[in-house]
Structures are given as structure tokens and as C-alpha cells.
Amino acid sequence: MISTTASDPSGVTDAIAALQSGDVYVAPGVQGQAALTEALTAAVPGDRTIAVVVLPEDADLAAVYDLELLDRLSERVPQTTVVLAVGDDLQAGSTVIDSNDVLRIANENEAAAGGDTQSALVETVQQIVDEAPSSPGRPRGAGDAILPVVIGGVVLAAAAGTAIVLFLRRRRTPKAVATADPLPPAIRLRVNRLRELRVDYATLQGDTVAAETAAAIDMLASHVEQLFVRLDAKAEADQVMLAEAEYADKLARLVAALEPDYLLDLLTRPDLWDSPQERVDEVREALAGLTTQIVDNIKQVNARKGLLFQVSLDSLIGRSELRDWERQFKDGAGE
């Protein structure tokens, strides 16, 4: 039995090692480990394309961001698709299927299973197999249709007078891959702009604050996507509308502060601004505060709780030039 190392209490290192030769890893200490391992082993296709990992519910306590354990697994295992359960929280990622689609599948099955992690995982694996570009499908069962084909239209007589036929197995028709974006258009517009701005800060050589800002922007954009993906799968429509109303304005305000004409200019030409350090600190605090609130909202969605909003971005609201840029951003988006 593989045990969790003291240097990696999450169990990810042990999972990576196990998945080099197998497709299923259920951490020691997970309730019903043997039965769960058997059920999942039977569910995976066995062609080394899908890995399933089950970790204890506290495995991600030390994680810096929401999908850190999934990312670590995906980067190090040979399988192209990884399904992860941390307690009863399901996640999934893939390099051959759209990651939003596999994550949606995992979240929908988690919600439908009502706490039955084994059922949620098995159903998730089966649906992902169906979505795969070259899905191996199920082994042929008694219910599968079998069609006799007479080669060349001629019945070939054997010594016993039996016809030789070729049986073709009916292929399962793959389900259409969902293409709907779980992010409302206004939120997607802001996330896309954040990712564009991240590049501007990442390419500013030799500036520690710019590098940290680039990483923080990337993390915020990722968390925003995760929030709305999970809201789409688990929450009522009014919660989605509430989150959209909350974050459309706040993200627009933050985007305005991150534009090259403001924070980037403050970092490269502080001599042209009054109170440049104060302004830089305001933007960085707003970025960190908004990210923290979104992470809290993700946890509230996972726990089926109502969303709470506590970050106001008051410091940015007080800057008249940012109000103008925010208005310009909204005008450009047709809002």
C-alpha cells in the first residue's frame, strides 16, 4: 500500500507515482478505499487515457489556488484526462477535451449524486469516455446489436454447411459536446481583457511588482472562470444573476485600474504622478481583495451556501480618472 509522504500531505506525490503504472489511485484513509478502487478500475477504459484520483477532503488545505492539486496531477501523469475527487468535491481537466466541458461534467455529476462520490466519479468517467475524440466506448454487451454481413453477397459453405458471417458491433453515438460558455458575456469580456493585460505586466522585465501583478491577474481570471463554471453547474439562476451583477461592475473598475494608462504607467513613470506609491498600493490591494472574495464565493457555492460580497473597491471608486476609464470600457462593450 502506498502511504502519504510527510513532505506532501496532500497525497498528490503518491498519486502521481501510482498513476505511472495504473489509472486509479484512492488515497489510504479514504472511506471504502478497496471497494472504491475496484469500482473505478472497472469504470476507466483501460487504455491509459483517463486517470481517477480520490484524496481526503482536507487534502487541499494548503493549496494556494482552487485547482492546484488538479494542475499538479495533470502536469505529471501520462493520462490525458484527470478526474479528481477531494472529499466529495469533483474536478476534472483534459488536454484532449475542452477543460470547461470536463469540469462541467464533473460538477453536474457531483451535484446530481447528492454526496455519493463513487456514483459521481463513475458517471463522470463514463460521460468523459463518450466525449473523447476517439472514445473506445463500452465493451460489447448482450444488448449490443450484431449485424451479419454476407461477404460479396455470397454464402460461403463450410464443411458443416455453416455460413461464415462477419459481425459488426454497433458503435455508440457520441453525445454532442456542449459549447455554451458558462460565463455571462459581460464577465467573459472582462476575463478576456484581464488575460490580455496579464501579458503586458509579464513582459515588463526586471520589475518585481509587475511580475507579481501578472501572476495575480492570471489567478483572478482563473478564479472568476471557476466561480461561474461552478455556479452554472450547482447554483440557482438567481445566484448566477447576483454574481454577474456584482462582478461586472467590480471587474470593469479593476480592469480600468490595470490598464496601461494607469497602473503600468505608474510602475514605469512614477515621476509623472502624484502619490504614485499610494496609487499602486490601492490597485494591488483591490486586486488581492477581489480575488479573496471570489475564492470565498467558490467555497460558498461548493457548500451550497448563498453568496456573500464584502469587497467594495472604495479606494478605486474615489479616483475620477478611473471612473472615466471604467465608463469608456463599458461604452466600448456596448453596455
280's grid cell: 499602486
Compute how many other C-beta atoms are within 10 angstroms of the C-beta atom of residue 246: 16
128's grid cell: 468523459
Pairing of strands 81-86, 89-94: antiparallel
Q: 89 has which bridge partners? A: 86
Per-residue pLDDT of the chain (335 residues; tens, 9 = 90+): 334 444 577 889 999 999 999 999 999 989 889 999 999 999 999 899 999 999 998 888 777 667 889 988 998 999 999 999 999 899 999 988 887 888 899 988 988 888 889 999 999 999 999 887 654 444 433 333 333 333 334 333 333 333 333 333 323 333 333 446 888 999 999 999 999 999 999 999 889 999 999 999 999 999 999 999 999 888 888 889 999 999 998 999 999 999 999 999 999 999 999 999 999 999 999 999 999 999 999 999 988 888 998 888 877 766 767 766 666 666 666 66
Query: All domains of the chain, ordered by start, with CATH?
Result: 12-131 (3.10.310.50), 185-332 (no CATH)
- Its sign, for the CA torsion 127, 76, 296, 256, is negative
Altogether, the residues listed in the chain come to a count of 335
